[in-house]
Structures are given as structure tokens and as C-alpha cells.
Amino acid sequence: MLLVRRRTRIKVVPLAIRTTVVRLIVFFVGTVLVLAALIPMEEAGIVKSPFVQVFERIGIPYAADIFNFVILTAILSAANSGLYASGRMLWSLSNEKTLPACFSRLTRRGIPLIAISVSMLGGLLALASSIVAPDTVYVALSAISGFTVVAVWLSICASHIAFRRHHLRYGRSLSELNYRAPWFPFTPIAGFLLCLLDCIGLAFDPAQRIALWCGLPFVVVCYDAYYFTQRQQTRQLPEELNDVT
């Protein structure tokens, strides 16, 4: 059974990566190109969805209502997946002793209730800020959220480069990898530089600059917390081994 699962994973994972890239190009880049070709720059804005503008130009009735329904459905789906991911992340960090142990507690049904509740509270506070302070707090949270995504992709690109170097340093062959990213190392280097350029661009936008003021210290705090907790665990491990022996 394990051999079958491994063979399936070897085939499925590379296929999923390739199809994901194709879908991103078609549905994101292609959509932006179509919208940019149909909507004049002077009419583009955030008051009305660009999709609604395009369909109204085509003459489709109830375009706004249709897309509002689609957008609300997508928002609920994204909120559900985000809640799951956030709760799972808090549970995982707690399980690795990086966060307090309360976040790793499970109910009888195996649900990390505390982690999910804290994640939901954060989401509700962010939602409330979009109503109470849409021009200040909500804009800042949106900017910080965008910076976080870019910072994650920076880490992914850097990790990819470091992984390849360590893989070869320990005498292993690239043929052992089930999937190899094309055009290495240019692909992760280009991704890293583009993400870094995006972060630098935040400094020149007064509305988005707060993402750097809050995001960079937060990243430093996360690394310090990880270093401190891992150092504590490495200290406790020899003591536990001495107790056993």
C-alpha cells in the first residue's frame, strides 16, 4: 500500500504543479489582460467590480447581482479555508513548542478549538475594522497582509535555493528528486528579486508603507521566537537523555 501511494504521489505532485502554473497564467494573467483591454484606465476603480463593468458593457442583465453572489461565495470559501489554515498553523506551532501548549489542545472529536477560536476572533476584528475604520486600520491590515504573502514567497524562493545546495552538498544526485523546477537557479532567483522589488516598492507608497513598519519587526520577532524556543528544546534534550541514562 505504501509503495502504491509513493508511486501515485510521484506522478500526481509534478502534474499538480504544472497544472497549477497553467491555471495561474490562464485565470489570473489572462483575466487581467482581458480586463485591461476592455476597460479604459480612467474608468477602472474599486467602487465597482471590473467584471461587472465588462458584463454591463456587453449588455448582460443583472450582472452586478450575479457577480456579487459569486464574490460573496468566494469570500466565504476563502474565509473557511483561511480559518482552517490559521487554526492548523497555530496547532502545529504549539505542537512544536513554539506557541503556548493551550493551542495544541484538542476536543474529544480532535478539533483544536482554542486555535480555531483565536483565529476566528482575529478574523472578526479584521472584519470590524473594515466597517469602523475602513480608511485607516483596514488599509493597514490589507497592506500588512499583502506584505506577508510576499514575505512567504521570498522564503519559498530562498528555501528552494538552499535545499538544492544542501541536497548536492550531502552527495545526493538531482536524479533522486521526483520533480525539479525548470530553469534552476534562474527561476527562484528571479522570483526572489521580483518579490524583493515589490517590498521595496512599498516604501514609496505612503498608503502601503505601514506594511514595512509593522511587517519587518513582526518577521524579526517570529525568527527570534523560533530561535529562542528551538534553543530551549536543544538544551532540554540532553537533560532528558541524562535522566534516562
Of 70, 67, 42, the closest CA to residue 56 belongs to 67
Beta-carbon contacts of 140 under 8 Å, excluding residues fewer than 6 positions away, are 210, 211, 214
H/E stretch holding 236: helix 210-244
Q: In this structure, is residue 159 part of a structural domain?
A: yes
Task: Give the number of other Cβ atoms within 10 Å of residue 93's Cβ.
Answer: 19
Q: In this structure, is residue 231 part of a structural domain?
A: yes
Reported pTM:
0.66
pLDDT value at residue 192: 92
pLDDT value at residue 23: 83
Task: Give the number of other Cβ atoms within 10 Å of residue 50's Cβ.
Answer: 19
pLDDT tens track of the chain, all 245 residues? 444 455 566 677 777 777 887 888 888 888 888 877 777 777 666 556 777 777 777 777 777 788 778 888 888 888 888 888 888 888 888 888 778 888 888 888 888 888 899 988 988 888 888 788 777 777 777 777 788 888 888 989 999 899 888 888 888 877 777 777 788 889 889 999 998 898 888 888 777 788 888 788 888 887 887 777 776 666 554 554 444 44
Q: How far apart are CA 110 and CA 4, in angstroms?
A: 28
pLDDT value at residue 244: 42
Q: In this structure, is residue 44 part of a structural domain?
A: no
pLDDT value at residue 189: 92
Give the structural domain span for 151.
133-245
Q: In this structure, is residue 99 part of a structural domain?
A: no
Q: In this structure, is residue 48 part of a structural domain?
A: no
190-221 in b/e burial notation, b at 16+ Cβ within 10 A? ebbeebeeebeebeeeeebebbbebbeeeeee
What is the residue type of 219?
Answer: V
Q: In this structure, is residue 166 part of a structural domain?
A: yes
Q: In this structure, is residue 191 part of a structural domain?
A: yes
* Residue carrying the nine cell digits 552527495: 171
Q: How far apart are CA 187 and CA 116, in angstroms?
A: 36
pLDDT value at residue 45: 62
Kindly compute the dihedral angle of the four CA atoms of residues 122, 127, 132, 137, in this order, to the nearest 10 degrees: 60
Domains in the chain, number:
1
Q: In this structure, is residue 126 part of a structural domain?
A: no
pLDDT value at residue 2: 44
DSSP label at 92?
H
Q: What is the 3-state secondary structure (H, E, C) of 202-231?
A: HCCCCCCCHHHHHHHHHHHHHHHHHHHHHH
pLDDT value at residue 5: 54
CA dist 16 → 22, 59, 177, 226 (Å): 10, 37, 16, 31
